[in-house]
Amino acid sequence: MSEGEGERARVAPAAAGDDCARVRAGGTVAAGGSAVGGRGASGGTARSAQARDRADLGHEQATAMLADLRRTLLDRFGTSDEAVLDPGLLSGTRPDPARRATGALVVPVRFHVVHSGGSGRLSTAAVQRQIATLNAAYGGRLGGADTHVRFRLDSLDRTDNPAWFRSPQRYEGPMKRRLRKGGRGTLNLYTAAVGSDVLGFSTFPQWYRRDPRLDGVIVDFRSLPYGSYAPFNHGFTAVHEIGHWLGLMHTFEGGCVSPGDGVADTPYEAEPAQGCPQGRDSCPQRGRDPIHNFMDYAHDACMRGFTAGQGRRIRAAWAAYRSRKTGGHRGDLGTAAPGAARSVGAAR
C-alpha cells in the first residue's frame, strides 16, 4: 500500500456499491445563484442526468470569470501570470494574515450543522473527520499535489430548523444571513439534507462582491466521511465544493473547447466522469481524462487529488478575491512587467 493509499484508508471508509453510477448533471448558472455540484446518490443507484448543476458555467460565463481574474491580478500585482505570481504568494512577500510562516494558506472554517431533531445532528467527531479529510486532500496526502492550503476549525454550531434542513436550496438566503460569520476569507461550511440528485453547492470567489452574505458551501450531511451516501461518503463532496469556493472550475468545463477550466495541467474532458472510467480519453488534446481529480464527478473512491496548476489557481484566486489585503491598489511581489505576463486561461 502506498503512502497515499494508506492516508485514504485513514480518513475515509471504503464505499459500498462503487459499481453503481454517479451522475453529475449539466446545466447553467441561475442569476445570483450558487454553484451546485450535482452528485447523484439515491441508495447507490444510478440517477438520470436531468438535475441542474449551476457550477457548469457554460463557455461565456467561464471565459468571463477567467477574464475577471486576469484583470484583477493585473490591477493588483502588475501581472496576471500565475507562475510569476506564485513564488511571492508562497513566500509571503506580500503578507496575508491567513498565511503561516511555512507558506501554507490557513483557511478558518465556521461549521454550521443544520438539523431536524436528531436527523442530521452531526457529532463533533464527524465534523473533525471532515476537516481532517480536507487537510489530507488539499495537502496532497491522498495522491495529488499539495495546494499549500490548510483548514482550521474555528467554530461549530448546531441549528434545529426542519425547513432549512430539508430544503437548504430554497432557504439558502435566510439560513446564510442568520448563520454566516466572518469575512471574505472565512469559509462557512453548512450541512443539511441537500438531496440525492445533488449533494452540495457553493459560491465562487468572483461572486463575493455580488452578495457577501450568500458566500459559502453547503453539502449533504450524508456525504461526510462514514456517511450513508455511498459511493459518495468519503467527505469528498466538501472537497469538491470548496474547490469552487477557492476558485476552481470543473475539469470538464467547456468539454474539449478552449479554455476549459483555464488550468494548463488538467487535460480537456468531454463530459463528467461517472463511476471510475479508467483510461478514458474523450478529447483530441493531449492527456487522458482527469478522472481522479477532485473537480471531476467520479466516485469518491476514484478521486485522489489536485494538480500543481490547480494549486496555483487557488492561491492566485485567493490573492485576488479572498485575501484581507484585497483592494484596488497594486502590490509588489517582484513580478515582471505587465507586458511580459502570460494570461490566466491561456491556451493549454
Q: Which of 11-15, 105-109, 143-147, 156-160 has the lowest mean pLDDT?
A: 11-15
Provide the pLDDT for residue 153.
98
Q: Residue 348 falls within a domain, yes or no?
A: no
Q: Residue 99 falls within a domain, yes or no?
A: yes
271 assigned to active site: no
Q: Which of 241, 253, 269, 271 is catalytic?
A: 241
Distance, CA of 295 to CA of 306 (rounded, Å) = 8
Q: Using one digit for the tens of pLDDT, what is the confidence trace for 290-318? A: 999 999 999 999 999 999 999 999 999 99
Q: In which residue are the cell numbers 478514458 written?
A: 280
Q: Residue 168 falls within a domain, yes or no?
A: yes
Provide the pLDDT for residue 198.
86
Indicate the number of domains in the chain.
1
Residues 18-26 have a mean pLDDT of 31
CATH number for the domain harbouring residue 131: 3.40.390.10
Q: Residue 257 falls within a domain, yes or no?
A: yes
CB neighbour list of residue 167: distance below 8 Å, 6 or more residues apart = none
Strand, coil or helix: 225: coil
Distance, CA of 172 to CA of 163 (rounded, Å) = 11
Q: Using one digit for the tens of pLDDT, what is the confidence trace for 188-230? A: 999 999 987 789 999 999 999 999 999 999 999 999 999 999 9
Higher pLDDT, 11 or 295: 295
Q: Using one digit for the tens of pLDDT, what is the confidence trace for 236-260? A: 999 999 999 999 999 999 999 999 9
Q: Using one digit for the tens of pLDDT, what is the confidence trace for 275-289? A: 999 999 999 999 999
Strand, coil or helix: 117: coil
DSSP E strand stretches across the chain: 35-37, 105-115, 149-160, 187-192, 200-202, 217-220
Higher pLDDT, 50 or 179: 179
Is the four-CA dihedral 101, 130, 143, 275 of positive or negative sign?
negative
Provide the pLDDT for residue 245.
98
Residue 28: which domain range? Answer: 3-340
- Exposed / middle / buried, residue 6 (Cβ in 10 Å: 0-12, 13-18, 19+): exposed
String of b and e for 177-209 (b: at least 16 CB within 10 Å)?
A: eebbebeebbbbbbbbbbbbbbbbbbbbbbbbe
Provide the pLDDT for residue 199.
93
Residue 228 zone, left/alpha/beta (φ > 0; ψ -120 to 50; rest): alpha
Higher pLDDT, 313 or 51: 313
The helix/strand count (H/E) of the chain reads as 8, 6
Q: Residue 134 falls within a domain, yes or no?
A: yes
Q: What string of DSSP letters covers 298-342?
A: --GGG--B--HHHHHHHHHHIIIIISTT-SSSPP-SSPPPGGGPP
CB neighbour list of residue 290: distance below 8 Å, 6 or more residues apart = 251, 266, 267, 269, 296, 307
Q: Give the cell for residue 338.
A: 505587465
Q: Residue 105 falls within a domain, yes or no?
A: yes
Provide the pLDDT for residue 237.
97
Is the four-CA dihedral 92, 305, 206, 154 of positive or negative sign?
negative
156 DSSP β-pair partners: 111
Closest listed residue to residue 62, CA positions, set 257, 237, 210, 201:
257
Higher pLDDT, 105 or 329: 105
Closest listed residue to residue 145, CA positions, set 2, 10, 309, 255:
309
